[in-house]
Chain A
C-alpha cells in the first residue's frame, strides 16, 4: 500500500515537473526551470523511498534530497525577485 502511494506520488511529481518544463519553454522564465528540477528531484526521492522500504539508515540521505528539492524552490523565489530588481 505504501509503495503504491509512493509510486503514484512520484508520478504526480514527475508530471507536474513536465508541465513546469513546458511553462519554462513558453514563458522563458527561469523560475519554471528550477521548479521543474525541484519536482523532478522529489519524484526521484519518492522512487528511492519506495525501493528502500526499511528506511532506518536510508532516511538520512532521503531527507538531504528533500532539502535539495525545496532549496531549489527557495532559490527560484529569490532569483525571481533579484532578476527584476535593479539595484543602483
Chain B
C-alpha cells in the first residue's frame, strides 16, 4: 500500500514542477523557477524513499533523501523571500 503512496506523491510533485516550469518559460517569473526546483526535489525525495524502502532495503538512504527535501525547500524559501514583493 505505502509504495503506491510514495509513487503518487512523487507524481504529484512532478506534475507541479512541470506546470511551474511551463509557466516560467512563458512569463519568466523567477519565483516559479525556484518553486519548480523545490517540487522536483520533493519528487526525487519520494522516488528515493521508494527505492530505499522497497528496492534496496539493505542500504540506508535516509540521510540523503532528507537532505534532498531540505535542499529543495531551501530553494523554495529563497524564491519566496527574495522573489516576491
Which of A's residues lie within 8 Å of B, judged by CB?
1-2, 5-6, 8-9, 12-13, 15-16, 19, 59-60, 63-64, 66-67, 70, 73-74, 77
Q: Does B27 contact A (CB under 8 A)?
A: no
Question: Which residues on the A side are within 8 Å of B66 (C-beta)?
Answer: 2, 5-6, 9
Indicate which residue in B63, B77, B80 contacts A5 across the interface (CB closer than 8 Å): B63
- If over half of B's interface residues share one DSSP class (helix, strand or loop), that class is named, otherwise mixed; here it is helix
Question: Which residues on the A side are within 8 Å of B16 (C-beta)?
Answer: 73, 77
Contact call A63/B77, Cβ cutoff below 8 A: no
Which of B's residues lie within 8 Å of A, judged by CB?
2, 5-6, 8-9, 12-13, 15-16, 19, 62-63, 66-67, 69-70, 73-74, 76-77, 80, 84
Indicate which residue in A8, A9, A19, A67 contacts B5 across the interface (CB closer than 8 Å): A67
Contact call A19/B70, Cβ cutoff below 8 A: no
Contact call B73/A16, Cβ cutoff below 8 A: yes
Contact call B12/A73, Cβ cutoff below 8 A: yes
Q: A2-B66, A9-B73, A15-B77 are in contact. Are A77 and B15 (CB under 8 A)?
A: yes
Contact call B5/A12, Cβ cutoff below 8 A: no
Indicate which residue in A5, A13, A63 contacts B6 across the interface (CB closer than 8 Å): A63
Question: Which residues on the A side are within 8 Å of B8 (C-beta)?
Answer: 67, 70
Alpha-carbon distance A16/B76, docked complex (angstroms): 7
Looking at B6, B62, B67, B70, the one whose CB has the most chain A CB atoms below 10 A away is B70
Alpha-carbon distance A15/B79, docked complex (angstroms): 12
Question: Which residues on the B side are within 8 Å of A6 (C-beta)?
Answer: 66
Contact call A70/B2, Cβ cutoff below 8 A: no
* Contacts A9-B69, A9-B73, A63-B2 known; 14 new A-B pairs at CB < 8 A: A5-B63, A5-B66, A5-B70, A12-B70, A12-B73, A13-B73, A15-B77, A16-B73, A16-B80, A67-B5, A73-B13, A73-B16, A77-B15, A77-B16
